[in-house]
Chain A
Amino acid sequence: MNNMMFGKYLPLDSFVHKLDPRLKIGSLLLLLIAVFFDAGFIGYALLGIFVIIMAIFSKIKVSQIVKAIKPMLFMMAFLMIFNLLFIQKGNLVFSFWIIKIYDQALLQTAYIFIRLVLIIIMTTILTATTKPLDLTLGIEHLLSPFKKIGFPTHEVAMMISIALRFIPTLLEETQRIMKAQASRGVEFSEGSLKEKIMSIVSLIIPLFISAFQRAEDLANAMESRNYNPEAKRTRYKQLHWRLADTLSFICVLIMCTTMVVMSIVL
């Protein structure tokens, strides 16, 4: 459980770490849209190089990127197999019994693979270089125009940051309870189905109880500090848009425009 890389913040000191979270979230959105323009292999190669440069600038190691992709492999394999079998356009390249594979299917599957890998790497770069709190701050800023139409931006951002804040706490709690029950003779990986269900019950009930307890404590703590979501608030942490942010944003825009232009021309 500790080995989960996807969505984890890496406390490093890099160029990308220092960029404004608004820029990083905005760029990710633009690049995610750009990924879905069919810009041909040259376009994807360009985007791939761009993503690799981003990864280098954020000091993320190759092994960490591989770790982030690994849990998605099953889903990717599933998607790829279905695409291979069900797209029936172009010339037949391989046929066996009821399995028929067409060249268009191969092409589309390759595209899907490339797109998924790029998406995972880009998302990992965002979450690995941005502290969860900065992330929510960025989201709140980006959502603020919607406040005018009555969208509760602050509440949403608060909920996201509370949820993010408690993920590691709950993981820790899970491990603690698992260990406590293991000391009482529970084996989480062995035993019959009935024993396995019982061992899960011995984990889930204490976990729920402590989660509710924490929620109550947190609510009381916020209440006693007179928390009011509608109040106008100032922030300890201010976001500063710097020259590096503008330059990075221009790079991202150029990349996205290239993808769009290539997809129209080709």
Chain B
Amino acid sequence: MSIQFKEVEHIYSENTPFSYHALKGVNLDIKEGSMTALIGHTGSGKSTLIQHINALLLPTAGEIHIGDILISATDKPETLKPLRKKAGLVFQFPEYQLFEETILKDIIFGPKNFGMSEEEAIKVAKDTLKLVGLDESYLERSPFDLSGGQKRRVAIAGILAMNPEILILDEPTAGLDPQGAQEMLQLFKKINQQGKTVLLVSHDMNQVLEYCDDVVVMNKGRVERHVTVDELFKETEYLTSLSIDLPIITSFILKLNQGGFDIDPSIKDIDELLKVIGGQINE
């Protein structure tokens, strides 16, 4: 499903001393089946933007098209359920949304709310729990006995079990160990390859380089770039001006090039890089 933003504005607490202009004329067109990274500083409007996609926030002005559903300041869909089923949103630190006695009950909570039968939901829950890397012995345990990382996995499973067509993730790997973070990202990539649109908010440029196709840069409530990952990391000056670090591998290649090498900076893979370096040394 595609996501389209047209001149979207969002102002929090309008007409009060606390008023805050979070989105300023946002235009955005995210293609179906893409894996897009959303980057930008804290307070640049990322979280506000993603909450518009399943109508948790309504725009102050402008319109949003999710597939054929229209959300605008004046007309919002009559019932939000169909939209929310299609666009699954995983908040930052989603482990705080767990509340059921058992992990099974917590995972089937979402699917059941969207009208799935109990038996089917249980079947889906078992599958998704495996996907996020926990075995079936966890099903009857209380979510509150788990470690932080495991809670995160259960919470993400709760959204994946709804089988949304758009998956929006707000820093899903914050606070996870490197191994766990990688596993989760590989899972999201796999879901993306099944044809789902994935939107990933991230501060880690290495993740962006490795897993995403496109990248959206937000700054002070505006979308400043919407380009492919390769194109973005070519704009080193722009990224420095936003104090966004380059991915480790890209900055390494740039340093090599300063030292006389001539390597394509869009290389993402260490083995490939080694081969190129080897070739150039032999020359």
**Interface, chain A (partner B; CB < 8 A):** 2, 10-12, 173, 176-177, 179-187, 201-202, 205-206, 209-210
Name the one of B84, B97, B158 contacting A206, with C-beta atoms under 8 angstroms: B97
**Are A183 and B96 neighbours in the complex by a CB distance under 8 Å?**
no
25 examples of A-B residue contacts, CB within 8 angstroms? A2-B13, A177-B96, A180-B91, A180-B96, A180-B97, A182-B56, A183-B56, A183-B84, A183-B89, A183-B159, A184-B97, A184-B158, A184-B162, A185-B81, A185-B85, A185-B110, A185-B113, A187-B80, A202-B97, A202-B109, A205-B99, A206-B98, A206-B99, A209-B96, A209-B144
User: Interface 1/0s, chain B 93-128, versus A by CB < 8 A?
Assistant: 010111100000000011001100000000000000
A177 proximity list for chain B (CB < 8 A): 96-97
Q: How distant is A67 from chain B, measured CB to nearest CB, in Å?
A: 9
**Are B109 and A184 neighbours in the complex by a CB distance under 8 Å?**
yes
Q: Which residue of B lies closest to A181 (CB)?
A: B97
Q: How many residues from B make CB contacts under 8 Å with A? A: 25
User: Interface 1/0s, chain B 53-89, versus A by CB < 8 A?
Assistant: 0101000000000000000000000001100110011
**Are B17 and A10 neighbours in the complex by a CB distance under 8 Å?**
yes
> How far is it, in angstroms, between the C-alpha of A14 and the C-alpha of B210 when the chains are bound?
54
**Are B91 and A202 neighbours in the complex by a CB distance under 8 Å?**
no
Q: How distant is B161 from chain A, measured CB to nearest CB, in Å?
A: 10
Q: How distant is A186 from chain B, measured CB to nearest CB, in Å?
A: 6
A206 proximity list for chain B (CB < 8 A): 96-99
**Are A185 and B96 neighbours in the complex by a CB distance under 8 Å?**
no
**Are A184 and B159 neighbours in the complex by a CB distance under 8 Å?**
yes
> How far is it, in angstroms, between the C-alpha of A176 and the C-alpha of B80 when the chains are bound?
18
Q: With A185-B81, A209-B144 known to touch, is A176 a contact of B91 (CB < 8 Å)?
A: yes
Name the one of B17, B91, B110, B158 contacting A179, with C-beta atoms under 8 angstroms: B91
> How far is it, in angstroms, between the C-alpha of A57 and the C-alpha of B114 when the chains are bound?
54
Q: How distant is B50 from chain A, measured CB to nearest CB, in Å?
A: 10
B159 proximity list for chain A (CB < 8 A): 183-184
B81 proximity list for chain A (CB < 8 A): 185, 187
Name the one of A12, A183, A209 contacting B88, with C-beta atoms under 8 angstroms: A183
> How far is it, in angstroms, between the C-alpha of A2 and the C-alpha of B91 when the chains are bound?
21
Q: How distant is A8 from chain B, measured CB to nearest CB, in Å?
A: 9
> How far is it, in angstroms, between the C-alpha of A186 and the C-alpha of B56 when the chains are bound?
12
User: Interface 1/0s, chain B 119-142, versus A by CB < 8 A?
Assistant: 000000000000000000000000
Determine if B2 is an interface residue (Cβ-Cβ < 8 Å): no
Q: How distant is B47 from chain A, measured CB to nearest CB, in Å?
A: 10
Q: With A185-B84, A202-B109 known to touch, is A179 a contact of B56 (CB < 8 Å)?
A: yes
What number of residue pairs across chains A and B have CB atoms under 8 A from each other? 57
Q: Which residue of A lies closest to B112 (CB)?
A: A185
B27 proximity list for chain A (CB < 8 A): none
Q: How distant is A12 from chain B, measured CB to nearest CB, in Å?
A: 7
Determine if B51 is an interface residue (Cβ-Cβ < 8 Å): yes
Q: With A185-B84, A185-B114 known to touch, is A202 a contact of B96 (CB < 8 Å)?
A: no
Q: Which residue of B lies closest to A175 (CB)?
A: B56
Name the one of B54, B56, B99, B114 contacting A202, with C-beta atoms under 8 angstroms: B99
A180 proximity list for chain B (CB < 8 A): 91, 94, 96-97
Q: How distant is A263 from chain B, measured CB to nearest CB, in Å?
A: 38
Q: Which residue of A lies closest to B12 (CB)?
A: A2
Q: With A183-B54, A206-B98 known to touch, is A12 a contact of B162 (CB < 8 Å)?
A: no
A209 proximity list for chain B (CB < 8 A): 96, 99, 144
A187 proximity list for chain B (CB < 8 A): 80-81
Q: Which residue of A lies closest to B97 (CB)?
A: A180
New contact pairs (6) apart from A179-B51, A183-B84, A209-B144, CB-CB < 8 Å: A179-B56, A180-B96, A184-B159, A185-B110, A206-B96, A209-B99
> How far is it, in angstroms, between the C-alpha of A206 and the C-alpha of B96 when the chains are bound?
6
Q: How distant is B163 from chain A, measured CB to nearest CB, in Å?
A: 12
Q: Which residue of B lies closest to A208 (CB)?
A: B99
Q: With A183-B84, A185-B84, A185-B110 known to touch, is A176 a contact of B96 (CB < 8 Å)?
A: yes
**Are B17 and A184 neighbours in the complex by a CB distance under 8 Å?**
no
Q: How distant is A126 from chain B, measured CB to nearest CB, in Å?
A: 17
B51 proximity list for chain A (CB < 8 A): 179
B85 proximity list for chain A (CB < 8 A): 185
Q: Which residue of B lies closest to A64 (CB)?
A: B16
Q: How distant is B182 from chain A, measured CB to nearest CB, in Å?
A: 25
**Are A184 and B96 neighbours in the complex by a CB distance under 8 Å?**
no
Q: Which residue of B lies closest to A199 (CB)?
A: B113
Q: Which residue of B lies closest to A210 (CB)?
A: B96
**Are A185 and B97 neighbours in the complex by a CB distance under 8 Å?**
no
Q: How distant is B117 from chain A, measured CB to nearest CB, in Å?
A: 14
Q: With A11-B17, A209-B144 known to touch, is A184 a contact of B91 (CB < 8 Å)?
A: no
What 6 pairs across the A-B complex have the smallest Cβ distances? A185-B113, A205-B99, A184-B110, A180-B97, A183-B89, A185-B114
> How far is it, in angstroms, between the C-alpha of A183 and the C-alpha of B51 when the chains are bound?
10
**Are A12 and B17 neighbours in the complex by a CB distance under 8 Å?**
yes
User: Interface 1/0s, chain B 153-167, versus A by CB < 8 A?
Assistant: 000001100100000
Q: How distant is B120 from chain A, measured CB to nearest CB, in Å?
A: 15
